[in-house]
Amino acid sequence: MSSAKVGDTIPDATLQTIPWDPSLEDGKACGAPMKVNTHKEWKGKKIVVVAVPGAFTPTCHVKHLPEFVQRAGEFKQKGYEVYIIAANDVFVMSAWGRTEGGKDGLQFASDVNLDFSRGLGATLDLSGAGFGERTARYALIANDLKITYFAVEEGSSEVNVSSASTVLGKL
């Protein structure tokens, strides 16, 4: 059950990302991780956060991410930066973004310690399936650190309230 709500301030957490660089194109370089403090880096900005339980997993990979990749330009036109986050490490998130064509308009970030998602009350225990604690599947819109939309999917394989079309409709 999530505890965050519209009007709340987003959690002050540090994510990790590997910014796109042409040296990453052929997959032979790993890139350099960069820390992103949500309160410092996102202050004064319009941000969309899309959380998935895991990179390269069936629902996340096939049903959830593709629409965000296809529609990344629409978010950018509306002035939003989009972060795709999961509990996977930063190198896995970077590889997922590169292999799926998400290098332009999307940031793939790691919430490996779940500081951001736990701060929202949006984690998922998949220990029974051998995956441990993960980010729940959710979407969040923030404007200058204030939540303007936040919804968590009821089931880990559902993509409704966190789909690109739903989120675009809330901007």
So what's the pLDDT on residue 57?
83
| Band of residue 132 on the pLDDT scale cut at 50, 70, 90 | low
Sketch the domain layout of the chain as residue ranges: 14-170
30 is catalytic: no
The CATH fold of domain 14-170? Glutaredoxin (3.40.30)
- Under the banding of pLDDT at 50, 70 and 90, the label for residue 2 is low
DSSP annotation of 59 reads I
Helix (H, G, I), strand (E, B) or coil at 48: strand
The one catalytic residue in 10, 13, 49, 60 is 60
Torsion of the alpha carbons at 21, 23, 25 and 31, rounded to the nearest 10: -70
Average pLDDT across the chain, whole number: 90
3-class secondary structure, 120: helix
pLDDT at 35: 97
What confidence tier does 116 reach under pLDDT thresholds 50, 70, 90? very high
CA gyration radius, the chain? 15
Mind listing the pLDDT tens digit for each residue in 138-156?
A: 999 999 999 999 999 987 7
Q: Which pLDDT value is given to residue 165?
A: 96
Confidence of residue 124 (pLDDT cuts 50, 70, 90): confident
Query: Does residue 15 surpass a pLDDT of 90?
Result: yes
